[in-house]
Structure formats: C-alpha cells, structure tokens
Amino acid sequence: MLTAADLGVPRMFNAATHFVDRHIDDGRGGHVAIECGDDRISYAQVAERVNRFGSALRTELDVRPEERVALLLHDTPEFAYAFFGALKIGAIAVPLTTLLRGDDYAHLLADAGAVVLIVSAALLPIVQTIPRAELRRLRRVVVVGTADTADAIAFDDLLGRGSPSIDAEPTTCDDAAFWLYSSGSTGAPKACVHLHHDMAVCAGTFARHVLGITAADRCFSVAKLFFAYGLGNALYFPFSVGATTVLMPGPPAAASIYATIERHRPTLFFSVPTGYAMLLAERREPEFDLSSIRLAISAGEALPPALFNRFAQRFGLEILDGIGSTEALHMFIANRPGAVRPGSSGRIVPGYEARVLDGDGQPVPAGEVGNLWISGDSVCAGYWNQHEKTRDTLQGTWLQTGDKYHCDADGYYWYAGRSDDMLKVGGQWVSPIEVENAMLLHADVQECAVVGYDDRDGLTKPMAFVVLRSDVAGTPERAAALDEFVRSQIAEYKRPRRVHFLSDLPKTATGKIQRFKLREAARELTA
C-alpha cells in the first residue's frame, strides 16, 4: 500500500492550496480550469474566487475550522469555489446529493451539524420546507442563482465581500477536509470522513496510473460532483494536473450528454452502466461524434459484458470498468486501456491492496467467491457518529467492502454481487450478476436486475426485473422468449423463474440499483 507520504504529500498540507493555488505558482493561471455552457474559467479566476469565498466564510459568516459547510449544488463552477473555499479555511465541506426530499435533507443537515448551507436556487424551495427548529446549528443559507427570499444571502454578493487573497489554514494532511454521505442503498446514509490527503492519493494512483491524465485532458463526468466518483472525475482529477473539467448542470439525459460531448470535446468520459445503456438507446443519423474521447470509464455498478460489446461495436471505444466506494473515495480496482476483460472489474490499482476472504477471514483459492477487503491510504477515517459501523467496516488498514468477488489466476477481479444479494437456489449459490449478464445478451433487453423470492414451498428462486428497448412490448410471449434465451446461456437452476417488465429500475442518486425495493416488489408479486 502506498501512503500519502510515499506520494510526496507533506505533513503540513491543505488540499485547496495543492489543487488550486499550485497552478498559479507554477504558471498555469491562464489555463482553462472549467467549461460550463458558455463560461470558460481560468485557474487564476478559480483561485481568486476560492479565496473570496473562503474569506467571506471566515470573516462574514464566522465559520471556524472544522465547522461543517453543506453544499447542495448542481454541477456549476460555484461548487468548486465553495468546496475548496471551505477547505482552505480549515472548515469541512459536506456535498449532498441533489435528488432527495425535504425530510431527507433535514436528517443530513442535522446529522452533519452544518452551520452554513450553500444551495442552488432551484433546490431552495425543498430546503424551505424544513422547519428551522430542526436545524438548530444552521446559521446561514447562501443561494447560488436568483431566489426570492429574505432569509438567504446571494452567493455572488458574498463572493464580492470576500478578499481575493487569504492565507490557508495550516492544516495537516491528516485533518478532516470533507465528508461524503454513502448512497444509502442498504440503509440510512452514513458520512464518510475524508482527510486532506485523500484526494491526492486517488489522483496519484488511479488518475495517474490508469488514466494517465495530463494537463491536455478534458474531463466530462455524467456522474455528478456530489458523488465520490464524480468529485474525482470532474474536480480533483483535472485540478491535480491543470487539466480542464466540463460541467453540465442539468439532468443527465442522453441528448444533453451527446450535445455536451460534441460541443466541448472531452478526452476522458465518465459514466455509470445505466448511463451507457441510455446512450446506446439513443439513435441519430448521422452518428453521434465521440471521436474526441480517448478513454471511457464506468463505475457505480458492474458493467455487463453486453453493454461493453455494444458500445465498442458502435463507437470503437472500450469502456474501462472498475470498482470504488464512497469509503475509499475512488477506484481501487480497474481495467486498463488495451487490457480489458469484459465483465471483470479489472486488476488492483497500483497503491492499493486487495484480499478475497471467506467468512472466517481466511483467503479463498483463485476462482472461488469470497468477501472483498481492500487497503489504501484514501480510505476514510471512519463514519461520523457511527462507532459500531466504523468498527465493523474498518479493521486496521483494511476496509470490508461488502462485495462478493473472485480473483482469477491473472489477477482480474470478478464481481458476484453484494454480500446480501447472493441467492441460494437448490442448495447452490447463484450470483445475480451472472443471471443479469445472460439476460442482457438478448438484443431486446436494455437493463435487468435479478433478486430472490420465496415460492409456495418457501424455497428461494430468482426473479428478473427487465427494462426492454423502447420499441419492444413486454408481453407474456416476450417473457417466455427471454426465459428460453437465458436457458441457453446458463445452468437451468440459475434461470429466473419469473420475468417482470418495468419502465425503469429503482436506483440511488449515484445510479446503483436499489435491490431492496425490487425484493419488496417480488414479495408483493408472489404474495
């Protein structure tokens, strides 16, 4: 395992000076840091606005080191100013997903003890539904954009009151810098406490050794900045080398994504399997121009081989799938350019270590499924106010990911599902991923998720929830045809006993399938 010190991170270290100020010192102030619509913002402009915002937090809003500043923002340049501005004064930035309801935000803001909330104007009405009595520590709300309220401060006004030059708080590399809430796909979200050195570790491992990122790159991430994956893709990866990030504030519709690619010509493109499936479902003559992209990357869920093959055949691009987590901040296992094994998560990223262990904590033989544990210096310090969960998940330098994997003889890791997703059918373990991949080989299937249900005898059987192409009808005949198709691909005992059609699959804000909702639906369908 490489430590932050091995990567050259000094003991006294403030992430804002490393990812922002350093480019001014090195003569890159004129380079374009952010493109967003018609806006082109240089590193010098980012540095000044980070300073102004950090200064205003410190002097105007009296934010002290280690106090929490929540960011409920769309992907706009203000996210970068607020995030690094908070870090520069030693406060803790807490990005929040933009896809929740008022009661969800009430819980997160109270749990974080946020003293300031920075919110996009379009999201302010949701926040205003929360009784202020529930947010006893929240002192001020700052609004990005135009909003009609007497209770908030305009972001631009606050920026104008700040100083263009401030001294960074003398933080150490091991001080808390930001929190990221887990997606909550299996329970209430938990705040992962990340340190000032964590982003430097991810930039020095995955971004450097897998992406080979340089200042000439242009990064476009469909995954949003509030997501651990998107925060790296669209902010600190490009800022680690003086590259350009392309931000798209709106929803990730296929037409908007293609338009952004054709207009801004990114070289590194990041999405999730659902996003790639959505792009493949969109057609146009002439074909969409993706020729600027040198690498396409996927995470969030395992990328089915069928999606990999369809994308490669259509656009001539191989997708580099990998696995990371909010706890580890970014990818720790990934495929490499020119060495992809479709369906696998790839090999261990240099700087990290991985083990596949049985239930007793012993290594399993190559090819045998076990529990994935990883070790790396970007792993969070723990969960905020979750002592028992921290103790269960983090043991020494090792993180229990909760994923089932096997590792082949060549060091490639293959996902078998979450620990609680595995099905025991007829006394034999079945990976839902294997069944889903078989179903996705059918040309009519756009997405698929497999869960277990109990039959009349109380025995577990697989059920498939299928999203078909928009021009295909979900009929009993279609279900029977899919059943026959899957029988030809995998062992009989693994096939879904029922096929149910949906218009879309329930997902978290980060694109992960919410299987617990599908299990509930399966119980209702078979009651």
32 in a structural domain: no
Residue 506: other Cβ atoms inside 10 A: 17
CA distances from residue 115 to 4, 60, 100 in whole angstroms, order as listed: 30, 13, 20
Spatial neighbors of 208 by CB under 8 A, at least 6 apart, are none
CA 429 to CA 411: how far, in whole Å?
23
| 85 found inside a domain | yes
* Domain tally, the chain: 3
Pairing outcome for strands 498-501 and 460-468 = parallel
One DSSP character per residue, 376-434 reads -TTS-S-BTT-HHHHHHHEETTEEEEEEEEEE-TTS-EEEEEETTT-EEETTEEE-HHH
183 with 514: CB under 8 angstroms? Answer: no
This prediction's pTM: 0.88
Mark whether 225 and 368 lie in a shared domain.
yes
Q: Are residues 409 and 374 in the same domain?
A: yes
Tell me the C-alpha distance between 408 and 464, whole Å. Answer: 27
Residue at 7 is within a domain? no
Q: Which of 331, 341, 452 is nearest to 401 (CA)?
A: 331
Q: Where are the alpha helices (DSSP H) in 60-183?
A: 77-88, 102-112, 124-127, 155-161
Residue 34 lies in a domain: no
- Alpha carbon distance 160, 167 (integer Å): 18
Final residue of a structural domain among 418, 452, 487: 418
Residues 283 and 411 in one domain: yes
Domain containing residue 464: CATH number? 3.30.300.30
In a domain, 3, yes or no: no
Quick one: 411 and 281 in the same domain? yes
Q: Give the end of a domain, one of 193, 208, 225.
A: 193
Phi-psi category of residue 513: left, alpha or beta, with phi > 0 → left and psi -120 to 50 → alpha:
beta
| Residues 7 and 201 sit within 8 Å (Cβ to Cβ) | yes
Structural domain harbouring 369: 198-418
Give domain status of residue 516, yes or no: yes
Instruction: Please enumerate in sequence order all residues whose Cβ is within 8 A of that of 138, keeping only pairs 6 or more positions apart, or say none.
Output: 109, 114, 115, 116, 117, 132
Whether residue 412 sits in one domain with residue 428: no
Q: Are residues 275 and 347 in the same domain?
A: yes
Q: Given 127, 159, 193, which residue is the final one in a domain?
A: 193
- Residue 24: burial class (beta carbons within 10 Å; 0-12, 13-18, 19+): middle
Instruction: Identify whether residues 241 and 325 lie together within a single domain.
Output: yes
Tokens of residue 100, six digits: 């929740």
Crossing angle of helices 273-281 and 254-264, in 10° steps, is 90
Burial of 133 (C-beta count, 10 Å sphere; 0-12/13-18/19+): exposed
Q: Say if residue 205 is in the same domain as residue 174.
A: no
Instruction: Identify the pLDDT of residue 185.
Output: 46
Q: Helix, strand or coil for residue 331?
A: strand
* Token couple for 489: 């691909």
Amino acid at 138: L
Q: Is the same domain home to 328 and 231?
A: yes
Q: Note the pLDDT tens digit of each residue in 160-189.
A: 999 999 999 999 999 999 999 986 544 578
* CA distance linking residue 464 with residue 297, whole number of Å: 27
DSSP sequence for 193-223: EEETTHHHHHIIIIIIIII---TT-EEEESS
Name the CA dihedral angle for 3, 337, 265, 250, rounded to a multiple of 10 degrees.
-60
Same domain, 220 and 338: yes
| CATH code, 178 | 3.40.50.980
Kindly give the parts of the chain with pLDDT less than 70: 183-187, 426-427, 457, 509-510
Q: Cβ neighbours of residue 209 under 8 Å, at least 6 residues apart?
A: 349, 350, 351
Q: How far apart are CA 229 and CA 227, in angstroms?
A: 5
CATH number reported for the structural domain that contains residue 389 in this entry: 3.40.50.12780
Chain-centre distance of CA 100, in angstroms?
16
Residue 237 and residue 181 share a domain: no
Contact assessment for residue 220 and residue 261, using Cβ atoms and an 8 Å cutoff: yes
Cβ-count burial 192-223 (b if 16+ within 10 Å, e if not)? bbbbbbbbbbbbbbbbbebbebeeebbbbbbb
Residue 8 is assigned to a structural domain of this protein = no
Q: How many CB atoms lie within 10 A of CB 8?
A: 8
> CA-CA distance, 187 to 252, in Å (whole number)?
25
In a shared domain, residues 189 and 240: no
